[in-house]
Amino acid sequence: MPKIIEKRVLTPITKMFRFDAPMIASAARPGQFVILRVREGGERIPLTIADFDAKSGVVTIVVQEVGVTSRILGAHKVGDNILDVLGPLGEPAHIPPGGHVVGIGGGFGSAALWCLMRELKERGDRTTVILGARHDHLLLLIDELREVCDNLELCTDDGSVGFKGLVTERLQQLMDGPGKPDHVIAIGPMPMMRAIANTTRDTGIATQVSMDPLMIDGTGMCGCCRVSVGDDVKFACVDGPLFDAAKVDFDEAVKRNKMYVKEEKLAAERQQKIMEEATHAS
């Protein structure tokens, strides 16, 4: 059971954890993820590996609290153990070296870009990161990302910081200007990734998106995570999670992720009550 050694509250619903997991830390590559469980009878949820360090054996994740499991995890403290952590899973990111890579992150996507952009910069690629959010205080890990890329761009819907507008608009400006990307990698909410896929479609800019379908085992055993990519059906947990943006069937992916909305709501309300009662009692 990996022990949490550091916790940071990034936004009221976004927490960063570092935990001890030497085997995962020494095998991990950027683009991969872990699957964890927080209690007996608990769900297995996938979370991207935001950072890892083979030497210290520490793995970093960033979790956004959206439902039962992410909320329970979010309430974990330094010194707590995470019941089960499996990883690293999925295929690492493969980006041909030497080009200009633009990483675009929304929500927990910023975290996923962290170790990836560092590695690309260290090997000599030109790196740009575009982060997008509604307001400035929802932008995550700005300082960390600034350190690991050549150029950090912030976009907010309300203009509270950086470029006022969507990440796709800023990306379009880059594409039209001298800093044209050779490679785009987008990690974030489905609508954002779909919009980016549409922006670079037919431009010849290789674009990858990190799909986040529902998963169970994460080893290719159940097929829950299937995603249509061109004419193929892929298992995101073993073939992905990164796929060619132009080929992904986003319509289907969005619908598949909504499969259990009713059940998740029921479970979240139940859990909320349990957690509230626990705080009242203590």
Ligand X SMILES: Cc1cc2nc3c(=O)[nH]c(=O)nc-3n(C[C@H](O)[C@H](O)[C@H](O)COP(=O)(O)OP(=O)(O)OC[C@H]3O[C@@H](n4cnc5c(N)ncnc54)[C@H](O)[C@@H]3O)c2cc1C
| Residue 237 engages ligand FES in binding (rule: CB under 6 A) | yes
The nearer residue to ligand FES, 221 or 259, going by C-beta atoms, is 221
| Residue 259 engages other proteins in binding (rule: CB under 8 A) | yes
Residues 214-233, interacting with ligand FES (CB under 6 A): 215-218, 220-225
| Residue 130 engages ligand FES in binding (rule: CB under 6 A) | no
The interface partner of residue 111, options being ligand X, other proteins, ligand FES, none and the CB cut-off 5 to 8 Å by kind, is: ligand X
Q: Which of 5, 78, 221, 278 binds other proteins (CB under 8 A)?
A: 221
CB 44 to ligand FES: min, Å: 8
| Residue 34 engages ligand FES in binding (rule: CB under 6 A) | no
| Residue 214 engages ligand X in binding (rule: CB under 6 A) | yes
Read off the tokens for 64. Answer: 């956004």
Residues 69-128, interacting with ligand X (CB under 6 A): 69-70, 108, 111-112
Lookup result for tokens 């059940």: 263
| Residue 88 engages other proteins in binding (rule: CB under 8 A) | yes
Apex 16 CA angle, 93 and 263, nearest 5: 85
| Residue 47 engages ligand X in binding (rule: CB under 6 A) | yes
| Residue 33 engages ligand X in binding (rule: CB under 6 A) | yes
The interface partner of residue 62, options being ligand FES, ligand X, other proteins, none and the CB cut-off 5 to 8 Å by kind, is: ligand X
By the criterion CB under 8 A, which residues form the site for other proteins?
Answer: 23-24, 27, 37, 39, 41-44, 68-69, 83-89, 216-217, 219-224, 226, 228, 233, 238, 252, 255-256, 258-260, 263-264, 266-267, 270
By the criterion CB under 6 A, which residues form the site for ligand FES?
Answer: 215-218, 220-225, 235, 237
